[in-house]
A and B are shown apart, each in its own frame.
Chain A
Amino acid sequence: METKNWKAWLYLLPAMFFLGIFMVYPLIDVLIYSIEEGYNFASQTYQGVGSYNYAYVLRDPYFLQALKNTFILVMITVPLSTGLALLISAGLVSIKPLRELYQTIYFLPYVTNTLAVGLVFMILFKKTPYTDGLANMVLHFFGGGTIDFMDGPYWAKMFVLCFYTIWVVLPFKILILTSALASVNQSYYNAAKVDGTPAWRIFWKITLPMISPSVFYLIITGFIGAFKAYSDAVALFGTNLNAAEMNTIVGYIYDMLYGDSGGYPSYASAAAIILFVIILTITCINLLVSKKHVHY
């Protein structure tokens, strides 16, 4: 066996080569950038090694704003979108007529361009001198006042961002959950029915545990995806996210690299490492929790 080992390595070489260049090397490079103080991009020089970049980023009000936005976004959209997707897929599998039509409709947002969707949301929510937008018309109908969703108070903008994010991530979750639900053996439901199990108990005690691996997968990827949110905010509020108070961590990293205040790869790297640590922590917590509640 030992003599043939080199062959195995040879087969793995192409994959390892590309992984090394495009994954491992950049990761290490980012880590190095983040500890090089006073790095000058033009001359490729730096003054010393230390934690100054981290200290700067963590004191930067723009970063703190982005951190806050990202956390709110994650904490609202992940549970809400997963729960909603669960409800919709449970509804979808329990109806027979028009099911395929509904499935198609629910899946449409997934194949629609993010920026195009952003444009539609702008039309729905934006207040212009000519119109208050569709959302406000609905509000007026129910006797509410006008709210400027796009340029108004912070919570209104956050609402639009969360609404939009949920709407965008929903189709994929519905797709995964519908197939998970459909794969649960009908005889479990029959057995439960014969025993006179109420519908809600069937859902909590049988359906949910049965599809828990899929739900767990969606929660993990949902967390990671929401933490890396950026294009959604851009689609709604344009590229100057700091001004709109709607920046995200990834948005902050991008700004540090290429934005108006760009040219600070060290700060960007430090922020990226912080994001990495946050996602790692959350994922570890998820894995720990899942040990108890996920049944493979």
Chain B
Amino acid sequence: MKVVLKHLTKKFPNRNKKQPDVIAVNDFNIEIPDGKLIGLLGPSGCGKSTALNLLCGLLKPTSGKIYFGEDDVTSLPVENRGVGMVFQNYALYPHLTVKQNIIFPLENLKGVDKLTKEQMSEKAYEVAKLVQIDTLMDRKPSELSGGQQQRVAIARALVKMPRILLMDEPLSNLDARLRLQTREEIRRIQKKTGITTIFVTHDQEEAMSISDMIVVMKDGVIQQIGKPQEVYDNPVNQFVAKFLGTPPINLFEGEVTDGKLYIGESDVMLVQNVPNQKVVVGVRPEGFVLDEDGALCCELKGVEVMGRDITVVSEHENSIDVEIRSIISSENQVDTEADRVHFALKREKVYLFKVDTGERIRF
């Protein structure tokens, strides 16, 4: 099911009545293609959960329209939208068994959709097999691990074959190892069912790794929409560049003078077509190349060997963050005793941003 949001806006009245309203979701325009896995990504409080609640119908938008396929569902109550939702804390009913939890949505069906006990049980087992919990059907949620509870929550959301599946921070309650496993699992289930799935997360790695498309948000405003790799390689502004990628992008105070980019005293790169101005220079960790003759000279602070690659931690007086983290292949030898380290920069991993607005300067 295709999902289209048109000028979707949600305002909350401010607690302090004299202050202006809080705009949690500001003029959203997205078209989400059918059968894709979409990650809504942004820092805490950026309005991504609000957006999800608007989609699911638990909140009513202040203005704008929501379409599922061709249907305008903006004013449709939550129960008629045909959405399945996985809540952040799973919201499994603790007094019911796994099976009863999964069947619960089916028991609400009325009229022609009404199912017999056998049909319900059959459907429950079907979806339980899909998420691989069919051996746990008689347990209570408290007798399950976090990952298993998550699967039950997904099964409950899927059992009535929703048009759209929504997930609110689906992995945030799991430990690191389980998170990795579960996100693959979510991907697999989504692929298998082909249900358009929208999930919310503040973890960029999570969003990048499994989404077909990510929507990066900040303060209720969409910053960028696109395939994860595209957004990573081609951020529209400093916020998006900073938010995506671990370790995060390294930012420097720089200046463009006569087609040359300077960081401090050293000119690091030729940038034609950029007028003279002060800029913020962003360099991805993988954009550094160890080079004796490299223009960028940093104070070496340490070397972290991770096996496959090496993280070089260094400092530079024009760096905006305290540390510069650069990742280089472990084939390189780094003299850990040296005081200084020289880098050349990969052109396609360097981004320039305006100092005041953070907007990208193309070169």
Contact = CB atoms under 8 A, between A and B. Distances in A.
A99 interface: no
Nearest to B140: A295
Nearest to B104: A195
B104 A190 contact: no
A210 B85 contact: no
A291 to B, nearest CB: 13
A186 to B, nearest CB: 9
A250 B156 CA distance: 54
Nearest to A186: B91
B148 interface: no
Contacts of B343: none
Contacts of A206: 93
A295 B100 CA distance: 15
A193 B105 CA distance: 10
A198 interface: yes
B95 A210 contact: yes
A185 B89 contact: yes
Interface string A158-193: 000000000000000000000000000101101111
Contacts, number: 57
A193 B58 CA distance: 8
Contacts of B107: 201
A196 to B, nearest CB: 3
Given A185-B89, A188-B93, A210-B95, A194 B108 contact: no
A190 B85 CA distance: 9
A194 B83 contact: yes
Given A185-B89, A187-B87, A187-B89, A194 B78 contact: yes
A196 B108 CA distance: 6
B359 to A, nearest CB: 38
Interface size class on chain B is 20 to 34
Contact of A195 (B88, B89, B95, B105): B105
Contacts of A193: 58, 78-79
A192 to B, nearest CB: 8
A187 B104 CA distance: 15
B91 A187 contact: yes
A161 B58 CA distance: 46
A209 interface: yes
Contacts of B83: 194
Contacts of A185: 89, 91
A150 B260 CA distance: 102
Contact of A194 (B84, B88, B93, B95): B84
Nearest to B86: A191
B94 interface: yes
Contacts of A201: 107-108
A147 B317 CA distance: 95
Contacts of A209: 93, 95
Nearest to A192: B104
A281 interface: no
A213 B6 CA distance: 47
B16 interface: no
B170 to A, nearest CB: 14
A110 B91 CA distance: 36
Contact of B79 (A188, A194, A210): A194
A197 interface: yes
Contact of B87 (A191, A196, A198): A191
Given A196-B80, A196-B108, A197-B108, A191 B91 contact: yes
B280 interface: no
A192 B78 CA distance: 10
Nearest to A193: B78
Contacts of A190: 58, 85, 87, 91
Nearest to A191: B91
A205 B101 CA distance: 11
Contacts of B57: 194
A192 B79 CA distance: 9
Contact of B108 (A198, A210, A212, A295): A198
A193 B91 CA distance: 12
A199 to B, nearest CB: 11
B163 interface: no
18 contacts: A187-B87, A187-B88, A187-B91, A188-B93, A191-B85, A191-B91, A193-B58, A193-B79, A194-B58, A194-B84, A195-B79, A196-B80, A196-B108, A198-B108, A205-B93, A209-B95, A210-B94, A210-B95
Given A188-B93, A198-B108, A205-B93, 8 more contacts: A185-B91, A192-B104, A193-B58, A196-B79, A197-B105, A205-B104, A206-B93, A209-B95
Closest 8 CB pairs of A and B: A196-B79, A195-B105, A295-B95, A191-B91, A187-B91, A209-B95, A194-B85, A187-B87
